[in-house]
Amino acid sequence: MLGGVVAGALAAGCAPKLVGAGHPGEPAVGGGVVTTDLFGDDGVFRAALIGDGGSRPADPAARALVARVAEACGEGPACDAAVLLGDNFYGLGFLGPVWAEGPMMRRRFHERYAALVLPFFAVLGNHEYASPGPLASVRHSARHPGAVAGTEPVWVQPFRYFAAYDAAGLELLFLDTYPLVGADPLPAVRARELTWLRAHCAANPGRRRVAFGHHPAATFGRYTGVAGELLSEEALDVLLACGVRTYASGHDHHLQRIDLRAPDGDVFHQIVSGKGGEVRTAYPFSDARTAVYRWGGADWAATLLPDHTGDYGTNAYAGWADLRVAEGIEVTLETVEGR
């Protein structure tokens, strides 16, 4: 569970213990490290992965999703956390989370997830960048001291991109992927983030790492082959060098589990869990369901696994992925009928 330093700090009404302050000249919301205890007594870290959940908080599908996550988190090993995979707020306008206590944050986080008494790690999506205050949700961690771990949902996004490290050797990387896509929309931010990530991984070798971001590395959905919607080869090369072999994202509003295999047998696991809110018409997935991605000087053969739910009628379902990390990493995909 999210215990130790982070939970203790939140329970005391202050920010988590943060290590590092980014690079010189970079704003405080740049990069940093959260020290925490991710594993519970059962030795398993379990997280509900919810992407693109920032729309229509009163929608029946959204309510059903929260109810199903709450039910599932009460089964087997309890959930230790949830991860919001970006596009956590849609249609921000001037009264979005420009202020930490704005109506968007209240309705689309605190009220929507009130039944899930969990820490919520969050990453930025492209819709946050559509707001006049794209980093307001990052500042919310420091500006919401009333959150008490164990009694209500707690927003954990202390930096624009950050790592959460467990003494048992597990590290979670939370990325700001808008600057990391192939179209390179923010080159200065991209350079700082990748510099931070390279330096962090080099200084902390040997950790087991799982990464989270909004934009997928690979997908068979709407954004297949669209460079401006997928992580750049440079960003993927850095993640591979960091030892990341499991990456979860949203952006495509489907549930997918994709395995990518390099010629040497190395496997990269892509989870797409983008059915947490606004849904789209069912996407006509290719019958072949295979592709090739070029990363790290190798061709990775991608296969969409048969348990994906991307081609279900998305106007009738909301969905989430269930991530479990112990000695290995296990992912199951959940769907729940919305209406």
DSSP-assigned states of every residue in 214-255:
SS-SS-SSTTTT-GGGSB-HHHHHHHHHTT--EEEE-SSSSE
Query: Looking at residue 282, what is its pLDDT?
Result: 60
Q: Give residue-wise pLDDT tens across range 111-165.
A: 889 889 889 999 999 988 877 677 778 877 666 645 556 678 888 988 999 999 9
CA proximity to 214, closest of 245, 180, 238, 188: 180
Kindly report which listed range (20-29, 203-212, 274-283) carries the lowest average pLDDT score: 20-29
- Fold adopted by 4-337: Purple Acid Phosphatase; chain A, domain 2 (3.60.21)
Query: Looking at residue 139, what is its pLDDT?
Result: 73
What gap in Å lies between CA 48 and CA 234, rounded to an integer? 28
**DSSP sequence for 259-275:** EEE-TTS-EEEEEEE--
Categorize the per-residue pLDDT at 290 as very low, low, confident or very high, splitting at 50, 70 and 90.
Answer: confident
Query: Looking at residue 321, what is its pLDDT?
Result: 86
pTM: 0.88
Percentage of residues in the chain having pLDDT higher than 90: 33
Mean pLDDT score, 296-300: 88
Percentage of residues in the chain having pLDDT higher than 70: 75
Mean pLDDT score, 260-285: 82
229 against 54, higher pLDDT: 229
Query: Looking at residue 288, what is its pLDDT?
Result: 62
Mean pLDDT score, 97-108: 66
CA proximity to 210, closest of 254, 248, 182: 248
Kindly report which listed range (27-31, 170-174, 228-232, 328-332) carries the lowest average pLDDT score: 27-31
Burial zone of 337 (CB within 10 Å; 0-12 exposed, 13-18 middle, 19+ buried): exposed
